[in-house]
Structure 1
Amino acid sequence: MVAGGEMGPDDEGISFAHALATLKEQGSALLVVGSVPEEMFAQASATMLGAPDAEPPRRRLVVTPKSNRERGVRRLRETGPLSAEYARLITGGERARSAAAGRSLDEVSPRTHVVDGSVGDLGTTITDVIEEFELFAGELAPAEFRMAFDCLPTLLATYGRETAFRFVHAVVSQSRAAAGLVHVGLPRDVTAEVVRLFQPLFDATVELRIDGGSLDQRWHFRDRDLTSDWLPVDELS
């Protein structure tokens, strides 16, 4: 490590690039934090969902509150095909809306699953979508499945820390079992106590900041004495 805790070659020669590659080789989970606007979280999230020209295309799931539905749809449109075997949206709302979404053409809007019940219903819906992606793929390749989970602040406000912690633990475990990459947004400063509570569930914490109009990110790896420099978000897309 270099002075100040920033990234530098350690005794084993482990680099930041190698650490990122390792995350893509196995099921991994990222906690995305920072005191930045919601649209900045959505921008960072889009890079983590994968490049739109990736081959094979990523199978992407966005789980987001009803208020952020349009941002969720936009992320899926920007990051790959919208057909049901490659893109799904889970959000809150009325069941009648779910039926209407199901009739939408996949080329126009991703298949949307509307959950208006308990946190258990949300978990079941996530499980069902992952299983359907696995059926479409035959066998998911490492990092082929990508999930953006925007609902942690809602879970904390509605159910409290214990239930939110258990639920996020289950979501992370499901994604890892599918060799997927899941990222969970928590719009708090990296030093906040609630961030420290959730960090043990994740392989790395991605800290966001706005610097001179640029959205930057800094990665803190849990099991390695490794923290990256501040980098533009688009640099790692």
Structure 2
Amino acid sequence: MRDEDRDRSAYEETTALVQELDELKQRGSNLLVVGSRMPAAHRAACQQFLGEASSEPRRRLFALADPSASIEDRIPRTNADSESLRVVRYAAESRSAAATQPSSQTDSIDETPIEHDDIGEFGRALSRAIAEFEAASGGLSPAELRLCFDSLTPLLSGYEPETVFRFLHLLTRRVRTVDGMGHYHLTTDRNTQTVALLEPLFDAVIELCLHDGTLHQRWYLRDRGLTTGWLQL
């Protein structure tokens, strides 16, 4: 392929992706972000989906299932206030004691620990947090809610895949009821049975990679049947 043809193709793919994202913002969406052994790529994608560059109102909800997870590298300290940020941490008693210790950043915000090994209560706590945002704002605008599920891996390690599927089915539906945007990190390769099982729940799967020292993303958009090339993240 000639360079000019390659540039034209990349431009068309980027344009189609931007149009699709605009539609997803209006109707609510859930995105599955996959890629193994690339924490920097997941952090960069997270910051993008949280809408940090936007001046529009944002209500950010973090679901933390990894005991060592922190939001400090995902959102600036200046945005860590009780009105626009919530953290629900799956701090089951059987897990690491570190799970119950909030980071220095989250000392000033509302962090809800789930201290029993109950995935159902985890989901209910997230739903309550969304309802609190709704009440505080008098109704959420499209894309105002941004949910980051920092890692699905611990849940998939502790529960049967079908149980996690049901949990995510309810959560993704709840996000869509308020026209929110949720993204869910899964540190595995794109072509796995786990991704194939969960993919029907999501509007798109975003695959991450590191190429020549630069982070890239490739989108699989289910409704459009569109797969982009590798785009710089």
Structure 1 residues 227 and 8: CA distance shift in structure 2, 3 A: farther
2:79 corresponds in structure 1 to 81
CA RMSD of aligned residues (A): 2.9
Amino acid at match of 1:135: A
What residue is the counterpart of 2:209 in the other structure? Answer: 209
Superposed counterparts of 1:104-143, under 5 Å: 109-117=108-116, 118-143=118-143
Closer, same or farther in 2 for the Cα pair 1:69/1:111, shift >3 Å?
Answer: farther
Aligned-partner SS, 1:67: coil
Q: 1:193 to 1:128 in 2, by over 3 A?
A: same
C-alpha distance in 2 between matches for 1:30 and 1:203 = 6
| 5+ long unaligned stretches in structure 2 | none
Q: How far does residue 39 in structure 1 lie from its aligned partner after superposition?
A: 3.8
Query: Secondary structure, in 3 states, of the residue corresponding to 2:75?
Result: helix
The match for 1:32 is 33
Cα pair 2:90 2:122 within 8 Å, conserved: no
Would the aligned equivalents of 1:73 and 1:110 in 2 still touch at CA under 8 Å?
no
Look up the equivalent residue of 1:137 and give its one-letter code. S
Cα 1:154–1:98 change in 2 (3 A) is closer
Cα deviation for residue 64 of structure 1 reads: 1.3
Change (3 A) 1:23 1:225: same
For residue 36 of structure 1, what is the amino acid of its counterpart?
R
Question: For each residue in 1:179-223, what CA deviation from the matched residue of structure 2 results, as whole angstroms up to 9, or x when unmatched?
Answer: 100011111111111111111111111010011121111111001
Q: What does residue 158 of structure 1 align with?
A: 158
Question: How far has the Cα of 1:231 moved from its partner?
Answer: 1.7
Deviations 1:118-167 (A, max 9, x none): 11110111011001111111110100000011242111111110100000
Determine helix, strand or coil for the equivalent of 2:123.
helix
For the Cα contact (< 8 Å) 1:73–1:109, is it kept in 2? no
How many equivalent residue pairs?
221
- Where do 5+ consecutive residues of structure 1 fail to align? none
Deviates more, 1:141-150 or 1:151-160: 151-160
Question: Where does residue 168 of structure 2 map in the other structure?
Answer: 168
Select between 34-43 and 135-144 the one with higher mean Cα deviation: 34-43
Q: Which residue is equivalent to 1:189?
A: 189
Q: How far 1:29 sits from its partner (Å)?
A: 0.7
Question: Quick one: which amino acid aligns to residue 47 of structure 1?
Answer: Q
**Residue 28 of structure 2 aligns to which amino acid in structure 1?**
G
Q: Which amino acid aligns with 2:213?
A: G
**Percent identity between the aligned chains?**
34
Residue of structure 2 equivalent to 1:90: 88
- SS of structure 2 residue aligned to 1:30: strand
Alpha-carbon spacing, 1:42–1:109, altered in 2? closer, same or farther (3 Å): farther
- In structure 1, C-alpha distance between the alignment counterparts of 2:132 and 2:98, rounded to whole Å: 21
| Aligned counterpart, 1:44 | 45
The verdict on how the C-alpha distance between 1:7 and 1:201 changes in structure 2, with shifts beyond 3 A counting, is farther
Query: What residue in structure 2 maps to residue 145 of structure 1?
Result: 145
Amino acid at match of 1:82: A
TM-aligned CA distance change 1:39 to 1:113, over 3 Å: farther
Distance in 2 between residues matched to 1:94 and 1:192, nearest whole Å: 27
Q: 1:39 to 1:115 in 2, by over 3 A?
A: farther
Distance 1:202 1:105, change over 3 A: closer
